[in-house]
Each structure stands twice: as structure tokens, then as C-alpha cells.
Amino acid sequence: MNNIKNKTIAIVGGGPGGLTLARLLQIKGANVVVYERDTDRNARPQGATLDLHKESGLKAIRDAGLIEAFMANYRPGADRLRIMDQNANIISDDHTFESDETFRPEIDRGPLQNLLLDSLQPGTVVWDSKLISLTPQGDLWRLYFQNGQSAIAHMVIAADGANSKIRSYITPIKPFYSGITVLEGAVHNSETASPKIHKLLNGGKIFALGNEKSLIISSKGDGSLVFYTGCKTSEDWSKECGINFADKAQVLAWFKQEFAGWDPIWLELYKNADAPFVPRPQYCMPLDQTWEAQPNLTMLGDAAHLMPPYAGEGVNMAMLDALELSQHLTDNDCPNLHSAIATYEKQMRARAAEAAQMTMESTEALHSPKALAYLQNVVG
């Protein structure tokens, strides 16, 4: 505790990684403030469900003393997967046998965010605080926000995601394009708006693969579903394709052309989705990235090791980062903050490189001619 005693720690970003870190540090008596760009906890819709892994995300939840709250909010059965081909044939089906639902339990992003927020001391999160820049002031940092406010902290931790404002203060290393662009959509009230797909989902997930393309669909606890196409495109496809992603007719026309030969059942998603659709080019940090540790500035999650979603490691890595960083900052093995950060970052980079290697292999395999066989082997 000596390394952070009487120090103010600023965490920039109120996603699962940042909030988990805040909770873990507050348990140890640290003075923590989370600065979040959203205006409040309900400012924007939360995306797909998250499966938390026993050795990472769930481990952090347990150490944070939140396993009971988690068990009250997770969705039994949401981890069950149907693997399908482009013709809507079911190739593999988790729904046909009993599974250990506590192994990689699924929870919606909204309930996960809320249980983490509710675990923090009142006033921990300062909303409407979009970071613009940092300036060193002696041994401190001054943070400047878009709303005109500023703040001082002894230590700053970047938990501000893929487009981190803080990362460039630590390293100039940038991510590379993975070759895949995702197009995200959502259908509200899927039972009535998209009944055939809703029935196929059966409260779980669908991976449909074919023609070196992917279509991933997830049910949500609020009765909606979210879906993601994965296609090989140029890096700037979303800017250069001429599609207005707020125009459902244009996106439907694109899907019919790009996924020609796929069963018409999949059109139900696009006909009933709520525009706009969101294109997301997928990036990955270099596997061999390294940098010199700074004495009072570090990062976690996507800010540190962005990678595509095709191995399900993103949120789990961020929450494990939070757990390990909190341990290094509060144990007695590190003589000072600088040493604690250096030890954490070395360990984090090694873990991230391994996860990114696996993720890139999965990304390539799921968009290859042998995608179905690969996925069956992985989940089998």
C-alpha cells in the first residue's frame, strides 16, 4: 500500500477494465477517481454479451468481492452456441446437451457496468469528462477535459480503449489492420421483429460461416439481439465504399451482394434492424511491442493491447490487467510506483502477445475456406 498511500490515482475510462481497477484499488484504501466521457451510465446502448473466463475476468470479479452480484446478473444458457453454414444448416449445437454454465458465463455489458459502478464509493466516477490532453506538473499530471475542467493526479492510468488519448504519451507504436472489417447491427424486440432468427438463437449465440465470411449473432437479456458481419476488405473500405450506413436499404443491398449465395433467412436481420449500422475495421497491436516504463503513467485493456474480437479475450484481458496492476501497486515487492508499473507492463505485454497471436490465428481461420472445420475443432 505504501506506493499509493496519500496519492490520487486518475483512471481515464469507465469501461470494465477501468471500473474493475477502481474497485480493486478502493478495497486496498486507495484514493481513486474515474474520468468517463459519457454524460451518465445510461448515455449509450451497451453492445453484445461478454463471456468471462475463469482465469481472467471471473478471477478479477472474485478478487473484487463481486461474485454474488455477478451470479445475480449473468445469463445462464447465453453461452450456448450454434455453428451454422451459410445455408442455415446447423453444424454443431450446444443446446442439445447439458453444459457447465458456470465455466464461461455470459453477462450483458450493461449489467456488468452497473454492478461495477454500484460497488464504487459515491462520487468515484466523474461523468462528462472526455480527456483532451495531459501535461506533467513536476511529479504530477494535470488532465484537461473537453468540458473545460482540469484535474491533478499523482498517477494516471489509461483505460480509454482503442482510441486512447493517453497511449501516445507512453509509446508511438500504432496498431496494424487485421484485414477484416465488421459491420454491426441490432434488432430490438427480436422475438417479434426477427422471429426466425430469434428462434434459432434460443437465447444463445450463432456463428454462421461461409465463403470466407462470418456472421455472428448474440441474444441479449433485454430481448434484443446484436449481429456482426466479418468480411475481408481494404482498411478504408467503410469510408470509400459509398454506403450510407444510416440507410437500411443501402446496407441491405450491400448484404445481398456481398453475401450472395447465403440463405434468405439472414435477410431478416437487415430488414428489421435499427439503423444506423456501425462499420468497425479490426486492428491489432504488434505482438512484439515494447516501451520504457514511466514512473506514474500506464495503461490497460484495448489502450495497451487492442486486438480483434475473434477469440473473446478483450474484456477478459482488460479485467486481468486491472487485477494484476492493482496487485503490483499495492504489494510490498515493488519499492516504488515506477518499479510496480514496469513489473506490471512486462507481465501484461507477454500475456497480450500470446492472446493476440491466438486471436489473429482465429481471425484468419474464421474467414478462410476451412472456417467451419476450424470452429468445430475449437469448440469440440
Question: Which CATH superfamily is 8-45+109-174+287-363 part of?
Answer: FAD/NAD(P)-binding domain (3.50.50.60)
User: Residue 371 phi/psi, 5° resolution?
Assistant: -60, -45
pLDDT of the residue at 101: 46
- Give the 3-state secondary structure of residue 371: helix
3-state secondary structure of 186: strand
- Predicted local confidence at residue 62, as pLDDT: 97
Looking at residue 58, its amino acid is L
The DSSP bridge partners found for residue 136 are 141
- First vs last C-alpha separation in the chain: 45
Give the length of the chain: 380
What pLDDT was estimated at residue 80?
87
Q: How many CB atoms lie within 10 A of CB 195?
A: 12
Listed as ranges, residues in the chain with pLDDT below 70 are 1-2, 45-48, 95-104, 380
Q: Which residues touch 215 (CB under 8 Å, ≥6 apart)? A: 206, 207, 208, 209, 227, 228, 229, 230, 259, 262, 266
Residues 362, 359: Cα–Cα separation, whole Å: 5
Query: Structure pTM?
Result: 0.94
Q: Which pLDDT belongs to residue 67?
A: 96
- Can you name the residues that pair with 203 across neighbouring β-strands? none
Question: pLDDT, tens digit, for every residue of 348-379?
Answer: 999 999 999 999 999 999 999 999 999 988 88
pLDDT at 329: 95
Say what the pLDDT of residue 228 is.
96
For residue 184, list its beta bridge partners.
228, 278
